[in-house]
Amino acid sequence: MTRSLLALLAVTVALPAFADGELNLYSSRHYDTDERLYSDFEAATGITINRIEGKADELIARMQAEGANSPADVLLTVDTTRLERARDAGVLQPVESDLLAERVPGNLRDAGNMWFGFSKRARIFFYDPEQVSEPPQTYLDLADPRYAGMVCHRSSSNVYSQTLLSAVIEHHGEDAATDWAQGVVNNFARDPQGGDTDQLRGLVSGECAIAVSNTYYFARALRTEVDGLGASDLEGIAWVFPSMTEGEGAHVNLSGGGVAANAPNRDNAVAFLEYLASDAAQKYFADGNDEYPVVAGVPLSESVAALGEAPEDSIDLSAVAKNVATANAIFAEVGWE
């Protein structure tokens, strides 16, 4: 690491103005609240961030096509599966950073330091206690026949669905995961449709009694109305942080990034990743986008704190991502649309 950002470890310490030049950021994060992350980094370092935004697969394909001439310095995206896809596509390079190794837990980063997670969303169960007196406590419970006709879930083409089933495979094996997927399909209240907010909306409307969603969609609606869903709509809804196995916590999805394989501004790229692991940036992930920080000890936002601390599955998410092809085969086998 040629430039240290150790001063970033304290929230109250201003970012050091040590750098200049540019940073070319390829990002599939689509949150307006991230503007503050970028502007604070620019103001503190003198580095100008040039952004190209798009869907993750499109950005990865673009970086591959650009090859050695790619201007990309950093790729930011959502979900471990996409981060692994970028690594396997050869568009990321390893980063040796004592700061990142210290700040980002080992199960939330690539073993070869190709990518690092910077924020988390737990994928949990929300339910109507008037219809469900004994909610499922584990992911496997979601397939229990007593929940027949109750469950709203996203489609099999969604990366969150793929990663969740991949985690079930990693923990319980392919046969058990197939049985689980078939059981969940049997329990659907409707055909899979829409995003996580739509699953919550189905719960509010009474179309389903149990909705599977990432925490930040619910927390965001507690803080501000989004697409017609606000805090008043969520009154009376309860939730469970389900476990994968006994003694383990909830499945989490990551938002993260890595340094591009041919980064023309590599030092600035590493500095940016280290900045994202600072207390200041971690708190903004929480306050600005209702996510859980990856760094221990960073305070939760009010909306996230309302959900509570997320007991977390400690499994290596790189291992989980390797099961996606098997997960997609299972989806097809059981008719999960």
Query: 258 and 118 in contact (C-beta within 8 Å)?
Result: no
For residue 48, give the H/E element and its range.
strand 47-53
Q: How far apart are CA 72 and CA 62, in angstroms?
A: 10
Angle between helices 215-223 and 196-205 (to 10 degrees): 70
Model pLDDT, residue 267:
96
Model pLDDT, residue 10:
38
Model pLDDT, residue 20:
66
Model pLDDT, residue 315:
87
Query: 301 and 286 in contact (C-beta within 8 Å)?
Result: yes
What pTM was computed for the model? 0.88
The stretches of the chain forming alpha helices (DSSP H) are 35-45, 56-66, 80-88, 98-103, 159-172, 174-186, 196-205, 215-223, 266-276, 279-289, 302-307, 317-321, 324-334
Domains of the chain by start residue, with CATH: 6-120+254-307 (3.40.190.10), 121-250+314-334 (3.40.190.10)
Average pLDDT, the chain: 91
Question: What's the number of CA atoms in the CB half-sphere (13 Å) around residue 222?
Answer: 19
Q: How far apart are CA 72 and CA 33, in angstroms?
A: 22
Instruction: With a cut of 50, list the residues of the chain below it in pLDDT.
Output: 1-19
Parallel, antiparallel or unpaired: strands 151-152 and 292-293: unpaired
User: Tens of pLDDT along 67-86?
Assistant: 999 999 999 998 888 999 99
The single residue listed with the structure tokens 């907010």 is 197
Q: How far apart are CA 295 and CA 74, in angstroms?
A: 20
